[in-house]
Amino acid sequence: MSADAIEAIRRLLHRYAECVDAADFAGLGALFAAGAIRAAGLPAPLRGAEAVAGFYARANRVHADGTLRTKHVVSNEIVELDAGGATASARSLFVVYQATERLPLQAIAAGRYHDRFERAADGWRFADREILLDLVGDLSEHLRIGVPAR
């Protein structure tokens, strides 16, 4: 049971990255239909599919190919299942790479995700994600919003 749960949670971590890179904001929102995203600079947590999808659609630059021209790489996942098996937590690292017509391939951001998950009848789902941005590069081709200074 625990190996299957850990693999399901890792798939959620990677599905988030896949949705962001593809500018699949509806898919991204669906991951948080019963959850929330928190980050420095947000006045309040983004709760639910509509809030998450809407924020990401407003905040990100979608390029001519319909993507963000990014690759979010998630690594060093540490998944911990709670004793009852109904909830779990995870810590992971991320690096965002980007290349556009104006920007050569480079890392533009790096940080950590602190996540909580809950098990529902249809499988594991995000309950809460805290995004901790540690390193910031050139975000001019990625975001339409400012990022708080560290």
Render pLDDT for 39-70 as a digit per residue (tens, 0 to 9). Answer: 999 999 999 999 999 999 999 999 999 999 99
H-helix or E-strand spanning residue 51: helix 49-59
H-helix or E-strand spanning residue 97: strand 87-98
Return d(Cα 86, Cα 47) in angstroms, integer. Answer: 21
Residue 150: per-residue pLDDT = 60
Residue 146: per-residue pLDDT = 84
- Contact criterion met (CB below 8 Å) for 123 and 31: no
pLDDT per residue as tens digits for the range 97-117 = 999 999 999 999 999 999 999
Q: What is the pTM of this model?
A: 0.95
- Contact criterion met (CB below 8 Å) for 120 and 86: no
Q: What is the mean pLDDT of residues 89-93?
A: 98
Return d(Cα 65, Cα 22) in angstroms, integer. Answer: 10
- Contact criterion met (CB below 8 Å) for 90 and 80: yes
Q: Per the structure block, which two tokens stand in for 63?
A: 């390029």
Percent of the residues in the chain that have a pLDDT greater than 70, as a whole number: 98
Q: Per the structure block, which two tokens stand in for 61?
A: 């630059």
Residue 147: per-residue pLDDT = 81
Q: Any residues with CB less than 8 A from the CB of 7 and at least 6 apart, and which?
A: none
Domains of the chain by range and CATH?
2-136 (3.10.450.50)
Return d(Cα 50, Cα 61) in angstroms, integer. Answer: 18
